[in-house]
Amino acid sequence: MPTTARFPVVPYLFACLLGLLALSGVWYGLGKPVVLPDAASASHKLQCASYTPFDKDQSPFDQPFKLRPERVDADLALLSQRFECIRTYSMTGLEEIPALARKHGLKLMLGAWVNANPVDTAKEVTALIASANANRDIVTSVIVGNETLLRKEVTGAQLAKLIEQVKNEIEQPVTYADVWEFWLQYPEVAPVVDFLTIHLLPYWEDDPKSIDDALAHVGEIRQVFGTRFAPKDIVIGETGWPSEGRQRETALPSPVNEARFIRGFVAMAEQHGWHYNLIEAFDQPWKRASEGAVGGYWGLYDADRQDKGVLEGPVSNLAFWPQWLAACGALFITTLIFAGPVRSTRAALALPLLAALGAGSLGLWGELTRITSRFAGEWLWALLLVGLNLLVLAHGALALSARQGWRGRAFAWLEARAGWWLAAAGFAGAVMMLALVFDPRYRSFPSVALLLPAVVYLVRPVRVPRAEVALLTFIIGAGIAPQLFREGLENMQAWGWAGVSVLMVAALWRSLRVR
């Protein structure tokens, strides 16, 4: 590092320290462990958990689906340490589960998948009846259909007929499982079941509940159903909270919130003597295809069968925060070395802060990409935005440097093309804004991916292709209010995206005025 009198050493070192402290604070704040009361231990087993026997490379849409007995064996051995039973959802391809459940001392809530195809449904129901009769020692109850009324695949009368058919042929109690509202919309179903199985998922409610209100909501609905349908028992067949994914109004997914909800619910259920089943045993990556990132992160264990800390022990929102901090620190230092000596005292203060902003936003985008990206197209889109951010970071850093030797030539190359970097950022912002306005339910907020370009080119406007950038400016600006309206004013992730969009609009507008 130059130490001549012309180099502003003290401001530079001060800004470096401030940048490193900011990076450390962000990552530690995200990852610091939180201590909560335990819900389970080796001597305290919970009631039941939803189990689907898919490995992380499998889905129910695989044709034909092939059960991996060694995977199921290991899964049930793990679950038997914390649970008394498991709930299944289909009979097709799962013929070996009863024997493996028996091996590990687990009871079964056995489910048949009911859909609009009567042939498929008949096969499921026939297999359900046969398995229930063959495994009376471990099958405690059977579930004829899961959220079939929600999907509008059968009528209430058709479902009631199927339930009556099963009741006539087995000894165990028979039920149906659906979101709680659908029991009220189809009153003909409740009289034919032996008990009601209701799904209570505060995150997915039409009026999503915050983590602070979620347990009270569950308790209220359970009390209403217990009174209305007495003397029939009410089983909470699915309840849980996602550990990752986008915020819905005030409902924020996170590992800490998942642990907070599950542990609080278990305590409340045991206090009131409720029967329950937690969703779900393991993260299911295949659900991300239809439900966005959030669909793959409802598990008590991750897709690799590693404990997420949901049931006991300290829990962190970002277990790998030291690794991300190290990576961001390395990029921070690399940026400073790449820029070299600075041009002025103001640049000495700005460069380390720019390096910290670039490193931090790229790290956060990397973590979001890890959570959300599953398909080749999603990974490619994320990597293109990483490349764009690196180009913008290099351009901004060299703009503050003394630009001696090769740095001057590199700056000239970047400067000549800077308008296209901003236009590319504007295009990405416009695409994301349109998606969040017209089809937002399963999309995550990409704020950190465009924060750096917005800030750099707001401070330092560049020449841009005017007609194209004017259109992109209009699209982003026009979408800010509608996306906030759709998300609700209490959604902090939506406000974050709105803030970045305002910065991007300002950056694009300033650059449109450059001649």
- pLDDT tens digits along 460-504: 999 999 999 999 999 999 999 999 999 999 999 999 999 999 999
CA distance 93 to 335: 54
356 and 502 assigned to the same domain: yes
CA distance 387 to 229: 58
**pLDDT exceeding 90 applies to what percent of the chain?**
91
**pLDDT exceeding 70 applies to what percent of the chain?**
99
Q: State which of 296, 328, 361 marks the end of a domain.
A: 296
Give the mean pLDDT of 329-344.
95
CA distance 49 to 39: 14
388 and 455 assigned to the same domain: yes
Check residue 4 and give its pLDDT.
43
421 and 456 assigned to the same domain: yes
Check residue 363 and give its pLDDT.
97
375 token code pair: 């398909």
Give the mean pLDDT of 76-89.
97
pLDDT category at 124 given cuts 50, 70, 90 is very high
18 and 85 assigned to the same domain: no
Half-sphere exposure of 436 (CA within 13 A, CB side): 33
* Domain total of the chain: 2
For residue 41, pLDDT over 90 is answered with: no
Give the mean pLDDT of 217-242.
97
191 and 325 assigned to the same domain: no
**Domain for residue 503, yes or no?**
yes
**Domain for residue 311, yes or no?**
no
**Domain for residue 3, yes or no?**
no
Question: Considering the chain, what is the average pLDDT of its residues?
Answer: 95
120 and 90 assigned to the same domain: yes
3-state secondary structure 138-200: CEEEEEEEECCCCCCCCCHHHHHHHHHHHHCCCCCCEEEEEEHHHHHHCCCCHHHCCCEEEEC
Predicted structure pTM score: 0.93
pLDDT category at 331 given cuts 50, 70, 90 is very high
**What's the first-to-final CA gap in the chain, in angstroms?**
37
Check residue 1 and give its pLDDT.
42
**Domain for residue 2, yes or no?**
no
Segment 422-468, tens digit of pLDDT: 999 999 999 999 999 999 999 999 999 999 999 999 999 999 999 99
332 and 208 assigned to the same domain: no
Give the mean pLDDT of 242-251.
96
Q: Which amino acid is at 205?
A: E
**Domain for residue 252, yes or no?**
yes
Spatial CA neighbour of 194 closest among 225, 229, 227, 221: 229
**Domain for residue 394, yes or no?**
yes
Half-sphere exposure of 162 (CA within 13 A, CB side): 31
Spatial CA neighbour of 399 closest among 387, 414, 389: 414
221 and 268 assigned to the same domain: yes
CATH number for position 149: 3.20.20.80
Spatial CA neighbour of 201 closest among 250, 230, 238, 163: 238
286 and 398 assigned to the same domain: no
Segment 150-183, tens digit of pLDDT: 999 999 999 999 999 999 999 999 999 999 999 9
Say which residue the tokens 């924060």 belong to.
451
On the 0-12 / 13-18 / 19+ scale of CB atoms within 10 A, 476 is buried
125 and 221 assigned to the same domain: yes
**Domain for residue 224, yes or no?**
yes
402 and 276 assigned to the same domain: no
**Domain for residue 302, yes or no?**
no
Give the mean pLDDT of 33-45.
88
Check residue 65 and give its pLDDT.
78
pLDDT category at 2 given cuts 50, 70, 90 is very low
Q: Domain of 459?
A: 9-30+320-512
Check residue 5 and give its pLDDT.
43
57 and 85 assigned to the same domain: yes
